[in-house]
Structure 1
Amino acid sequence: MQVSVGVGCVKQILILGAPAPPTRGRAADWAEMADTVRCRLLLHLEHLTSGELKKFKLYLVNCLPRGCLEEADRPKLADLLVSSLGQQEAWEQALRIWQNMGLRELCERAKKEDLGFIPAPVLTASSGSQTGQLLAVSKVEVFQKNSPSSPAPQAIQASATDTLKLCSPEDFLMLRKKMAGQIYPVMEKEARTRRALIICNTKFNWLPPRNGAEYDIRGMSDLLEGLGYRVDVEENLTALEMESVLQRFASCPDHQTSDSTFLVLMSHGMPSGICGKDYRKEDSQILPVARIFQIFNTSNCPSLKDKPKVIIIQACRGENSGVVWVNDSAVPSAESCTEDLCIFESDALCRAHVEKDFIAFCSSTPDNVSWRNVHKGSLFIIQLIHYFREYACCDHLYDIFHKVQNSFETPKLSVQMPTIERTTLTKYFYLFPGN
């Protein structure tokens, strides 16, 4: 039988044993467009034999979770493609696979269809879903389409025209004098050697790719360089490699002549930590978040003692509705408060807290989704960059973080709420860009 589905213009497509969906005009939003692409994919997948369907799935093992592919029937496979890759990429990927499989007639028929792709971005959220609405593709990250119950954020404040506002020398001197003793010391610009580290896993052996994360890398690198940090970027590491990179960075001699550091970690995640690129359910490769704090504590990184250490984490929590990994444990570390583990400086009889001068900012509260725009980057990172550029010239770090949180109170951005975690800052941390 023939089915008429209108997208801009009416097209005729062939399908066996399926009711005709109603004709509709070109979709006005992404949700309708995604449904259209999903429907078209399903129509063509129905033409594949069981053997051809298995072969089609094999072509997808490098970009979609193998376990999900094995269990997916035709409707779930269409949903998985659109939710994971986005509407246009899913369609183009299917065309390439059909061409490689030698299904010329099917491929040519599909190529003639005018889907009228809408340029609105696909937004991914972290955790699980249901067929036709939210499809659970793994226990690590979810891909969520727009729906009335979970509208996508529509206002992204940062833009390519944003620039870092500098603090004037006069304001710098005035504020430093006014807040003397209440702010972290700022080393002279010519003498200091600030360092920052970005670890971002975008491609995985067994997990779906984190499309759009490359924009987060670029944006955070530009921001931190503008704030006077030399930025090291490491991508697609195993859990052991992440730990090794962190240890090497902690031992960097430049910290001796630096007044602070930033650590930015972005990946898939589980409640127990951050996933390396080789994470799989059968062989968990996890970097515990607590290990990050341990590597940079006073005992293991004395060159950053009494200096702000800012940790920004974007990683999914896993099995529930999808969140960024945060450390909510109320149990104190066994090594952090016993008398025999207190640290004594070799040149003075003073003690130092093992963990101090940390602050961690995470993109979402537990049990809530965290959005990533595959064309612009993570919503949290976009907002973070915008508010740093706008207010680092006059506000201290905690106030900037608070402004980012407040930005998610607006109706158009009320899809997640960033959280400030494990804060042990004892003074105000001003960045004074330009000074």
Structure 2
Amino acid sequence: MSAKMQTQRQNLHILSGDYRLILNKVYENNLITQREYNNLKSINNANAETYVNDLVDKIMNKGEDKCKDFLNLLQTDGAIKETFPQLASLQCSATRWEYVTGKIRPVGLFVIINNKNFKDGSQRRGTDKDAQSLAEVFSWLGFRVLMCEDLNKDQMDQALTFVASLADMSHFVDPQQVLEHGDAFICSILSHGKKGVVLGTDRNPLPIKEITRKFRGCDQSVLTGKPKVFLIQACQGSNIQRAVQMNDMEIDDDTSPLTIPEEADVLVAMATVEDHASLRHIVDGSWFVQSLCEQLKERCPRGEDIVSILHYVNDDVAHRETSLLAKQMPEVRFTLRKKLVLQPQCT
């Protein structure tokens, strides 16, 4: 864990020292509603840190201005300054709120499903390079990375169902390890695919719509109102813009009373457009994933949002071609209501 992340967890622990003072001050300064105040006061069977977590989530989901007002309150209110002198050095500029990407606790959970070895004996060579690049970049961005390898269709479906609720992840992680969604959820699936689906290692299809549907907003979901991003490296058909011999490239074929739509806050970035193939180098990895990682490393420190970064990925991949002029065009679709800014957590 980086020094910055340790400081963020320490700040959460500090606020837990007198959470009722913080709650009262937040309400007095109109950062939460009467109803939210009453609900937070009445939470049962929760420790102090849980109270603070819930309070911070409420404020951060209200927008950048409320988030800045909260940080300003922590640094300027007399009673808070007297009770929590450790917060004097807290920097307002440390929080970039558009979609909150975690400033009090880890940014969120990043799940990679990396299907390399298929039941028919075939391999997706180069996919380990993609998985490693993604893990490194999103760890740098402060995400907890969970890697799942060589899952058949049912195992993919089960893993994603569990991740959506974090109900029982004992099959995938050490039971003693605590997983939490944090402020954003990102999933990358590296596999073969066909139109509208990704394939398990048994080559049975799992519809992409079914995957994203598992993470739809609902009253009970802690991910409601938070960004959910899906990065899909898989073909969506077998068409190639020109018939070519691929040489060393392979194809991956065969806040109250506010409400929001249940399909809100989702982004799906596909390596290729519908009906077409995506390209993957057998050593260097796929065009799409490698371009994505390069652009994230270059542009996240500048504060650019994920959609803007994906524009650069689209342009970069569109300019690439094999020696025989095979091309690829990624596609991005989203229902994000705000900009999603991911910032490096390591200095």
Smaller-chain TM-score bracket: 0.5 to 0.7
1:352 paired residue among 250, 253, 260: 260
Q: Give the letter aligned to residue 99 of structure 2.
A: Y
Partner secondary structure for residue 352 of structure 1: coil
Residue 170 to residue 362, structure 1, CA distance change in 2 (3 Å): farther
Partner of 2:282: 374
Q: Give the letter aligned to residue 276 of structure 1.
A: G
Deviation string 1:248-302 (CA, Å, 9 cap, x unpaired) is: 11112878661111100011112241111112xxxxx211111111111113971
Q: Distance in 1 between matches of 2:163 and 2:119?
A: 26
Deviation at 1:385, TM superposition (A): 0.6
Deviation at 1:316, TM superposition (A): 1.6
Partner of 1:37: none
Unaligned runs of 5+ in 1: 1-168, 280-284, 326-344
Q: Give the letter aligned to residue 273 of structure 2.
A: T
Partner of 2:269: 361
Partner secondary structure for residue 301 of structure 2: coil
Residue 301 (structure 2) pairs with residue 393 (structure 1): yes
**1:103-118 alignment, distance < 5 Å:** none
Partner of 2:237: 318
Deviation at 1:399, TM superposition (A): 0.8
Q: Give the letter aligned to residue 388 of structure 1.
A: L
Partner of 1:274: 198
Q: Give the letter aligned to residue 294 of structure 2.
A: H
Residue 240 to residue 174, structure 1, CA distance change in 2 (3 Å): closer
**1:105-144 alignment, distance < 5 Å:** none
Partner secondary structure for residue 136 of structure 2: helix
Question: Hey, which of these two has a bigger chunk of helix by percent?
Answer: 2
Sequence identity (%):
26
Residue 216 (structure 2) pairs with residue 297 (structure 1): yes
Residue 407 to residue 175, structure 1, CA distance change in 2 (3 Å): farther
RMSD: 3.0
Q: Give the letter aligned to residue 122 of structure 2.
A: P
Contact 1:194 1:255 in 2 (8 A): no
Partner of 1:202: 116
Q: Whose radius of gyration is greater, 1 or 2?
A: 1
Q: Give the letter aligned to residue 297 of structure 1.
A: R
Deviation at 1:349, TM superposition (A): 4.8
Deviation at 1:419, TM superposition (A): 1.0
Residue 146 (structure 2) pairs with residue 223 (structure 1): no
Partner of 1:249: 163
Q: Distance in 1 between matches of 2:196 and 2:273?
A: 16
Q: Distance in 1 between matches of 2:107 and 2:318?
A: 37
Partner secondary structure for residue 306 of structure 1: coil
Q: Give the letter aligned to residue 93 of structure 2.
A: L
Deviation string 1:158-188 (CA, Å, 9 cap, x unpaired) is: xxxxxxxxxxx99981884xxx6xx112432
Partner of 1:416: 328
Contact 1:255 1:304 in 2 (8 A): no
Deviation at 1:433, TM superposition (A): 1.2
Deviation at 1:200, TM superposition (A): 1.3
Contact 1:324 1:365 in 2 (8 A): no
Contact 2:235 2:271 in 1 (8 A): no
Deviation at 1:317, TM superposition (A): 2.1
Structure 1 stretches of 4+ moved >4 Å:
169-172, 253-257, 322-325, 411-414
Deviation at 1:247, TM superposition (A): 1.1
Residue 347 (structure 2) pairs with residue 433 (structure 1): no
Deviation at 1:410, TM superposition (A): 3.2
Residue 409 to residue 221, structure 1, CA distance change in 2 (3 Å): same
Contact 2:108 2:183 in 1 (8 A): yes
TM-score when scaled to structure 2? 0.60
Contact 2:237 2:277 in 1 (8 A): no
Deviation at 1:221, TM superposition (A): 0.7
Deviation at 1:220, TM superposition (A): 0.7
Deviation at 1:194, TM superposition (A): 1.6
Residue 188 (structure 2) pairs with residue 264 (structure 1): yes
Contact 2:142 2:344 in 1 (8 A): yes
Contact 2:305 2:342 in 1 (8 A): yes
Contact 1:251 1:301 in 2 (8 A): no
Partner of 1:403: 312
Partner secondary structure for residue 401 of structure 1: helix
Residue 401 to residue 301, structure 1, CA distance change in 2 (3 Å): farther
Partner secondary structure for residue 305 of structure 1: coil
Contact 1:172 1:432 in 2 (8 A): no
